[in-house]
Structure formats: structure tokens, C-alpha cells
Structure 1
Amino acid sequence: MSEKNEPSLLQGFKAFLMRGNVIDLAVAVVIGAAFTKIVNSVVEGVINPLVGAFGTQSLDSYSSCLKGPCTGTGDSATGVRILWGSVLGATLTFLITAAVVYFLMVLPMAKYLARQEARRKAKESAEEVIEVSELEVLKEIRDTLIAQRGTGHDRS
């Protein structure tokens, strides 16, 4: 019998779970679910009532009749009813949600990260200035020592 050095099924599964990208993905899904609740509550609690103040909160009832008289609902309906209100409502909900996410979360985070990056670059440039000034001081010391040797008395 030849022994194979392949990891067992359990060891392979453990290695898969312990990879960084799997854990990062799991964290992203959990945070995304919590973030969805925040965005939905802002849209439903603030934005939709504001939109409802200028019009209707439910666009689902808007429709047009394409063929024949549209009477009745469900299976007993006649004619061809186009429910364009629900499409418009879903589109507006998407646009409002995207605007809330962008203006209340993405844009402030981008500005914050840009400020952090500017601070980091400023700190790095200050460190470079310090290093350059230290180099200049060392050069001056070297030049002074060389000058002292040249003007000093030679002992022969």
C-alpha cells in the first residue's frame, strides 16, 4: 500500500474555512444585511413620506389598458392591463435608495478616507523633511571636520 500525503476531507474543509477571503465574505454579507435595514428604514421612514407629500405613496395602482376594456381583477379580468405604475415605483425606489446610499454613506466615507490619506502623505513628507535636514546637518559636520583638519597644525 502506498501512503498518499493528501490532506483529509476534514483538514481540507478546515483550510477552506480558515482562508481570509471566506471569512471576509461572511463578514461582508452580515454587515450588508444590517446595512440594508438602515437604508430601508431611511427610505421608508424619511424619503417615501416626503415623496408622498408631493404625490402618492403607492404607484402600483397606475395602469393602462392595451387591448379592449379592462374590467375586473385577477382571473376574471378582461383586456390587457399594463401595470406601469409598479415599474415606475420600483424604479423610483431604486433611484431613491441609491441616492441615500451615495449621499449619506458613500460620499462621506470617501471624503473621510481622502482626509486620512492626505494626513498620511503630510506625515510622510514631514518625515522626509526631517530625514533631509538630518542629512544636511551630518554633511555640515563632515565639512567642518575636514576644514579643521586642513587648517590644523601638522605634527610630523
Structure 2
Amino acid sequence: MSEKKGLVAGFKEFIAQGNVIELAVAVVIGTAFAAIVDTAVKAIIDPIIGALVPTGDLASWTIPIPGIFAEAQLGIGALISAAINFLAIALVVYLFIVRPYNGFKERAEAKRAAAAPAVDEPEALPTEQELLVQIRDLLEKQKS
């Protein structure tokens, strides 16, 4: 039976595993990386798309809401800019982190599988019908 760990003991064990350090490094690198991609999107992609919108600036492009909301505006440009920023970050993370990591993992698994000794597969177990036939034959042998 395992004992329930207290909050402090569980936290100490979590810290000792090193996961916190890896997580902290990932957050710091991710934040810095997001800032680089955000700047690239705002400096390169937004102006190109901004040339196609009526205001000339994607981030300030708004659409008025007709009806009761007389002066209300939908900030469609800011939303599009944020979506482009997200997609750019996701693409770069996929291309430079996820794909290489998956390739590394596959190569490591292939190397591990090649190094592991071949295991003989156990014989297939007899079917229920085959077992019943064997039992019948044994019972007939005992009777005679």
C-alpha cells in the first residue's frame, strides 16, 4: 500500500525531478521566440496585407457596426493580425522544434529496437474448440 504524500512532499519530489527547470527554460525561450516572431509579423507581413485594406494599416482596420451601436467598430484588422501572428509562431515551432524532435525520437526508437534482442513470439493459444477436442480425447483415453 502506498501512503498519500503531503502537498509539500509532493512538491519537493516534483522539483527534484527537474521538470520545473525544463519548464522554466521552455517558457523563457518561448517568450523570447514569440517576441521575435511578433516583431517579424508586424514589420513584414502586416504592412504587406495592410496595403490591401482600405485604411492602409492592418492593425487599425475596423468595420463599423450598423444599427443601435452608432459609433461601435469591430477591430477586424487587429484580429487578423493576431491570427497571422499565432499561425506564424505555430508554423515556426512546428518546423524548428516539433519536426526535429519527432525525427530524433523516431531515430532513437529505431536504434533501441535494433539493439534489443529478438524476442520469440509465444505460440498461439489453442482455440476453445481445439481445447474441447483435446479434453474429449483425454477423457476417451481414460475410459478405455
Matched, 1:97 2:89: yes
* CA drift at 1:100: 0.9
The verdict on how the C-alpha distance between 1:45 and 1:88 changes in structure 2, with shifts beyond 3 A counting, is closer
8 Å CA contact 2:61, 2:76 repeated in 1:
yes
**Match runs of 1:5-154 below 5 Å:** 12=6, 14-20=8-14, 24-44=18-38, 46=40, 48-52=42-46, 54-56=48-50, 59-67=58-66, 79-124=71-116, 127-128=117-118
| Rg (Cα) greater in structure | 1
* CA drift at 1:113: 1.0
Percent of aligned pairs with the same amino acid:
20
Gaps of 5+ in 2: 1-5, 52-56, 120-144
The verdict on how the C-alpha distance between 1:53 and 1:112 changes in structure 2, with shifts beyond 3 A counting, is farther
Gaps of 5+ in 1: 1-11, 71-77, 130-156
Richer in strand (by share): 1
8 Å CA contact 2:47, 2:58 repeated in 1:
no
Give the total of aligned pairs. Answer: 109
Please give the TM-score of this superposition, normalised by the length of structure 1.
0.54
> How many angstroms apart in 2 are the aligned matches of 1:21 and 1:83?
43
Please give the TM-score of this superposition, normalised by the length of structure 2.
0.58
SS of the aligned residue for 1:79 comes to coil
* RMSD of aligned residue pairs (Cα, Å): 3.3
